[in-house]
């Protein structure tokens, strides 16, 4: 007979605000990560501090924000009104405290209820806030949310505003490193959405005059655009759109009150619907919605009263109302697009003609592919039943999770031994494995038809669920896991080519990575060190002294499952694949997969971690 567990008053425990945040960080900042992904927690910390500075600009004060990131230390300084001096400690350490509760002061704010800086405070080993106003200042310092020091100055010559300095806790964000590219993207989004705002990052200035038009121009090469960007502005709405000459699927950037809603929501759904409806009415033809939106590249920003988001990290809008006397989000956006886009197309017949030709071409391609797509789907379904290529995980990106962000990964690997090692050592809940059989086809210059006719491409597309765009993507991390030799590098290039050719938005949205695995194991009887470079190997030899045993891993298949678990768990090292905005996708494909030029060889040697002797042998 089992003993009954006692349930008394002693079992009831109340966590204070900082304990709760530190115990359940995912509820407040999403996933943790190490900085290799743009939505990792360390960037959410930066964003939460910045949101308050942006709100000051929106309220008409502080046209410049200074951001510094040096190593692990982050400093954000604005020139807004400054926190009321008597409340400096409270606003960063007491829940349900903050100016965002007074909707008159922050009608359409970004930061909402002021939870953000409290989360940053609790998740930092060092946190300092300084406020200056009316010639006086106050400051407070914290460690993991605990107040350690307070300062007051009756007189100061410092300009008014708020300065926040923090160092994220490396016991929570393990092995983290800030990537400037991700911070710059975050800061650029702020200036696109706030004309007149200047943000200075480590000495570099960012400023935008043309809002979302600048966003699309900065993110896409001019040569990829079918027609000049259509840019429409209203009181609480801004839209920019064009179509791509090269990519197949839809690409959107959406914002609410300055917040980048990466998972869309009611406003994005309304916009997609409104574009189709307006185009159909303009041309007087009942075009298929997928043909109208195929290859579209667009951005939409709206401002609503007291928005409701579907998570604390505010990545998806749930609100259906604009607020005040305005109609619903859907009606407001539909009316704006119907009037403004229709007027634009009537005034710009050349752009309207190009758009119509693009839609008709999409219709033709869809009909040509319809039979092939049906067969391909049946093959993919049959293959998944037999688990031929995919060892799936139990949950997927987009599934709901009570404690915050659900992070899922698909490893694309080659060879039975490597696939076997990863499969045996993975987390079966959130990590899946897709096995390639040899080198994939070089898809450079081929049409979308090949995706359905080639078994591996068809099954990979089906596994990711990206045939019609990223809306139902099943894994937010797509990781290429190949050997660090010439064959492995070639497979990487072929897979990158596949995504560039058919699904560039996977790369643009920061979902594609290269798995970094150790080249050497250095060990003695007491300690084992895995090394990712010659420099790390030498440092390990010096640390262990004597004559440690050194193993050179020639391939992933040589690493046992017991060891592999270290490289795909909490200490995973991922290198993000990023697009070079200076090159069009066509130019990039030519560079990667065109003629074997000296420039390309040099690039591969320097950037894809191929050792010189291996390249020279081939």
Contacts of 611-614 with CB under 8 Å at 24 or more apart are 611/484, 614/485, 614/486
- State what percent of residues in the chain have pLDDT above 90: 46
Residue 460 φ/ψ region, left for φ over 0, alpha for ψ in the -120 to 50 degree band, beta for the rest? alpha
The residues with which 299 forms a beta bridge, in sequence order, are: 240, 253
- Please check whether residues 142 and 248 belong to one and the same domain: no
The residue ranking higher by pLDDT, 228 or 472, is 228
- Residue identified by tokens 């050179």 is 552
Please give the angle made by the CA atoms of 337, 342 and 348, to the nearest 5 degrees.
Answer: 125
Q: How many folded domains does the chain comprise?
A: 3
Q: Where are the beta strands (DSSP E) in 495-603?
A: 512-516, 520-523, 528-531, 549-552, 573-576
Residues 218 and 197 in one domain: no
CB 396 within 8 A of CB 475: yes
More confident residue, 585 or 55: 55
CA angle 240, 228, 508 (to 5 degrees): 60
Q: What is the CB neighbour count within 10 angstroms for residue 88?
A: 22
Torsion, Cα of 53, 58, 59, 65 (10° steps): 30
Task: Choose the final residue of a domain: 206, 237, 269.
Answer: 206
Q: Which of 206, 232, 253 is the last residue of a domain?
A: 206
Mark whether 360 and 402 lie in a shared domain. no
Q: Say if 280 falls within a structural domain.
A: yes
Last residue of a domain, one of 178, 206, 234: 206
Provide the CATH number for the domain around residue 314.
Answer: 3.30.230.10
How sure is the predictor about 342, in pLDDT bands with cuts at 50, 70 and 90?
Answer: very high
Q: Verify that 182 and 44 share a domain, yes or no.
A: yes
DSSP assigned state of 506: H
Return the CATH number at 152.
3.30.565.10
Q: Report yes or no on 534 lying in a domain.
A: no
pLDDT band at 420 (very low <50, low <70, confident <90, very high): confident
What CA–CA distances, in Å, run from 573 to 99, 397, 610? 40, 20, 17
For 123-132, 308-317, 540-549, 557-566, which range has the lowest pLDDT when averaged over its residues?
308-317
> What is the pLDDT confidence band of residue 386, given thresholds at 50, 70 and 90?
low
Indicate if 360 and 406 belong to the same structural domain: no
Joined together, the tokens standing for residue 142 give 């914290």
Residue 524 lies in a domain: no
| Same domain flag for 146 and 97 | yes
Q: How far apart are CA 402 and CA 311, in angstroms?
A: 10
Highest mean pLDDT among 11-25, 27-41, 72-86, 322-336: 72-86
> Which tokens is 562 given?
């017991």
Pick the closest to residue 302 from 423, 212, 365 (CA basis). 212
Q: Quick one: 503 and 598 in the same domain?
A: yes
pTM of the shown model: 0.82
| Helix or strand run (H / E) with residue 421 | helix 416-425
Same domain, 495 and 576: yes
Query: 261 and 316 in contact (C-beta within 8 Å)?
Result: yes
Which residue range forms the structural domain that includes residue 572? Answer: 387-517+553-617
Q: How confident is the model at residue 109 (pLDDT cuts 50, 70, 90)?
A: low
In this prediction, residue 604 has a pLDDT band, given cuts at 50, 70 and 90, of: low
Which range has the worst mean pLDDT, 19-23, 359-363, 546-550, 584-588? 584-588
pLDDT at position 7: 41
Average pLDDT over residues 243-248: 86
Does 221 lie in the same domain as 199? no
HEC string for 187-238: HHHHHHHCCCCEEEECCEEECCCCCHHHHHHHHCCHHHECCCCEEEECCCEE
Span 387-393, average pLDDT: 82
Share of the chain above pLDDT 70, in %: 86
Are 353 and 400 members of one domain?
no
In this structure, the strands spanning 73-78 and 64-70 are: antiparallel
Q: What is the pLDDT of residue 514?
A: 92
Question: Is 50 exceeded by the pLDDT of residue 614?
Answer: no
**Please, which pLDDT band fits residue 377 given cuts at 50, 70 and 90?**
confident
Question: For the chain, what is the mean pLDDT?
Answer: 85
Residues 100 and 226 in one domain: no
- Average confidence (pLDDT) over 459-471: 87
The verdict on residue 497 lying in a domain is yes
Is 591 domain-assigned?
yes
Given this model, what pLDDT does residue 486 score? 78
Residue 419 has pLDDT above 80, yes or no: yes
Please check whether residues 447 and 299 belong to one and the same domain.
Answer: no
Q: How far apart are CA 510 and CA 44, in angstroms?
A: 15
CATH number of the domain within which 607 lies: 3.40.50.670
Q: How confident is the model at residue 252 (pLDDT cuts 50, 70, 90)?
A: very high
The answer to whether residue 286 sits within a structural domain is: yes
Give the model's pLDDT for residue 118. 92
For residue 544, being part of any structural domain is answered with: no
pLDDT by residue (tens digit) across 286-324?
A: 999 999 999 999 999 999 887 887 765 667 788 787 777
- Confidence label for 220 from pLDDT (cuts 50, 70 and 90): confident
The pLDDT of residue 73: 97
391, part of any domain: yes
How confident is the model over 568-590, as a mean pLDDT?
Answer: 77
Identify which has the larger pLDDT, 91 or 609.
91
């Amino acid at each position: 007979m089992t003993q009954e567990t006692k349930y008394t008053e002693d079992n009831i425990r109340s966590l204070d605000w900082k304990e709760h945040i530190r115990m359940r960080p995912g509820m407040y900042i999403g996933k943790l990560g190490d900085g290799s992904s743009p939505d990792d927690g360390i960037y959410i910390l930066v964003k939460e501090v910045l949101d308050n500075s942006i709100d000051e600009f929106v309220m008409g004060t502080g046209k410049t924000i200074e951001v510094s990131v040096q190593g692990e230390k982050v400093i954000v300084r604005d020139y807004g009104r400054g926190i009321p001096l008597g409340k400096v400690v409270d606003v960063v350490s007491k829940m349900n405290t903050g100016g965002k509760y007074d909707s008159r002061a922050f009608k359409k704010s970004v930061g909402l209820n002021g939870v953000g800086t409290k989360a940053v405070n609790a998740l930092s080993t060092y946190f300092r806030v300084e406020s200056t106003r009316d010639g006086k200042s106050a400051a407070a310092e914290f460690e993991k949310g605990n107040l350690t020091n307070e300062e007051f100055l009756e007189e100061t010559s410092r300009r008014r505003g708020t300065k926040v300095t923090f160092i994220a806790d490396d016991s929570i964000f393990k092995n983290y490193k800030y990537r400037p590219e991700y911070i710059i993207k975050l800061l650029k989004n702020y200036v696109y959405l706030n004309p007149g705002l200047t943000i200075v990052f480590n000495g570099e200035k960012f400023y935008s005059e043309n809002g979302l038009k600048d966003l699309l121009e900065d993110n896409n090469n001019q040569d990829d655009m079918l027609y000049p960007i259509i840019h429409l502005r209203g009181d609480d709405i801004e839209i920019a759109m064009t179509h791509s000459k090269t990519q197949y699927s839809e690409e959107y950037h959406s914002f609410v009150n300055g917040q980048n809603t990466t998972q869309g929501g009611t406003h994005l759904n309304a916009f997609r619907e409104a574009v189709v409806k307006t185009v159909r009415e303009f041309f007087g033809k009942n075009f298929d919605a997928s043909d109208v939106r195929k290859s579209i590249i667009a951005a939409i920003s709206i401002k609503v009263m007291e928005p409701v988001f579907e998570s604390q990290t505010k990545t998806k809008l749930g609100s259906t109302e604009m607020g005040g006397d305005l109609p619903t989000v859907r009606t407001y956006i539909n009316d704006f697009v119907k009037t403004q886009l229709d007027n634009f197309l009537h005034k710009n017949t050349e752009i309207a003609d190009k758009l119509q030709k693009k839609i008709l071409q999409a219709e033709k391609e869809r009909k040509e592919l319809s039979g092939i797509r049906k067969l391909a789907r049946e093959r993919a379904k049959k293959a998944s039943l037999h688990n031929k290529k995919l060892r799936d995980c139990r949950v997927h990106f987009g599934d709901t999770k009570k404690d915050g962000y659900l992070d899922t990964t698909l490893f694309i690997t080659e060879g039975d031994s490597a696939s076997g090692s990863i499969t045996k050592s993975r987390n079966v809940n959130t990590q899946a494995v897709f096995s390639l059989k040899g080198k994939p086809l070089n898809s450079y210059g081929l049409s979308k038809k090949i995706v359905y006719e080639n078994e591996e491409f068809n099954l990979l597309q089906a596994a990711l669920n990206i045939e019609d765009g990223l809306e139902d993507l099943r894994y937010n991390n797509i990781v290429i896991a190949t050997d660090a030799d010439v064959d492995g590098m070639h497979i990487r290039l072929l897979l990158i080519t596949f995504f560039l050719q058919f699904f560039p938005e996977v790369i643009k949205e920061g979902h594609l990575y290269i798995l970094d695995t150790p080249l050497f194991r250095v060990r003695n009887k007491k300690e084992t060190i895995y090394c990712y470079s010659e420099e790390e190997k030498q440092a390990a030899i010096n640390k262990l002294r004597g004559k440690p045993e050194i193993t050179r891993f020639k391939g992933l298949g040589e690493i046992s499952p017991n060891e592999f678990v270290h490289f795909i768990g909490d200490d995973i090292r991922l290198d993000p694949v990023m697009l070079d905005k200076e090159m069009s996708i066509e130019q990039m494909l030519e560079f990667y997969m065109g003629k074997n030029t000296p420039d390309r060889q040099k690039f591969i040697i320097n950037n894809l971690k191929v050792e010189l002797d291996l390249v020279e042998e081939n």
